[in-house]
Amino acid sequence: MKVTIEVNGTVTSHDVEDRTLLVHYLRDTLGLTATNVGCDTSACGACTVLLDGESVKSCTILAAQASGHMVVTLEGLAGSELHPVQRAFRERHGSQCGFCTPGMIMAVVSLLRDNPKPDRDEIRLALKGNLCRCTGYQNIVDAVEAAGS
């Protein structure tokens, strides 16, 4: 079937197999490989992107469901300068292996839109759908706090 999705400000349109997941459309059809697949149960959050400004796990929706909507991935976040969340992750050492980072950053962008100054407990609770196996989360929480201030 044909899907038309605005991705990172560019309208994309492709014929895809009906069962194509949004994450595979982004990665395989468009070649936007920042968004990662870490599980097959919607548990890990590595594939988190923004769909019409809200964070979604792109492995849980079909590309067809995103047709006619607007998607932002990590690649589309920075303008001429880093997004404040990207900057905070860099300054606060919020990445180690980096595999969770793209999804984590998109989840944080969504969180800060809903709650611009979350406290540490709110941050931890809001990120429970995004797993990181390397950092123990502390520097990520630091980064979110910094980005929110």
Partner 1 sequence: MARIEDWALITSGGRYVEDVRDPALAGCRYGAFVRSPVAHARITGIDGSACRADVFTAADLDLPPAGRGPVVQPWLARDVVRYVGEPVALVVADDRHRLADAAAVVRVGYEPLEPVIGVEQALAGEVLLFPETGSNVVRVHGTSFDGAGFEGCEVVVTRTIVNQRLAPLPLEVRGAACVWLAGRLVVWLPTQNAHAARDLIAAALGAPVRVITPDVGGAFGAKMGADPEVVVLGWAARRLGRPIRWTETRSENLVAMTHGRGQRQTITIGGRRDGTVLAFRLDAVQDAGAYPRSAAKLLPKFTCLMAAGAYRIPVVEARVRAVLTNTTPVASYRGAGRPEATAAIERAMDLFAARIGMDPVAVRRINFIRSFPYTTPTGACYDSGDYHTALDRVLAAGGYRELRAEQERRRAAGDVVALGLGIGCYVEVTGGGGVGEGARVVVGRGGVATVHTGSSPHGQGLASTLTMLVSHRLGVDQVIVRHGDTDLIARGTGTFGSRSLQYGGSAVSRAVDLVVDRARDRAADMLETAAGDVELTAGVWRVRGAPSSRGLTWAELCSAEELAADVWFDDAEPTYSFGAHLSVVEVDTETGRVVLRRMVAVDDAGRVINPETCVGQRHGGLAQGIAQALFEEVRHHPDGSLVDGCWGVGASELPDFELLDMATPTTRNPLGVKGIGESGTIGSAPAVQNAVIDALSHLGVDHLDMPASPMRVWQAIS
Residues that bind partner 1 (CB under 8 A): 17, 19, 24, 27-28, 31, 33-41, 43-44, 46, 74-75, 78, 82, 86, 89-91, 93, 95-102, 105, 120-121, 123-125, 127-141
User: Which amino acid is it at 99?
Assistant: F
Q: What are the residues whose beta carbons fall under 8 Å from the beta carbon of 2, sequence distance 6 or more?
A: 13, 14, 15, 16
Of the pair 27, 66, the CB lying nearest partner 1 is at 27
Distance, CA of 40 to CA of 1 (rounded, Å):
23
CB atoms within 10 A of CB 118: 20
Of the pair 60, 68, the CB lying nearest partner 1 is at 60
CB 64, min distance to partner 1, A: 14
Of the pair 68, 78, the CB lying nearest partner 1 is at 78
CA distances from 108 to 14, 19, 64, 73, 85 (A): 30, 29, 25, 13, 7
Of the pair 65, 129, the CB lying nearest partner 1 is at 129
CB 11, min distance to partner 1, A: 21
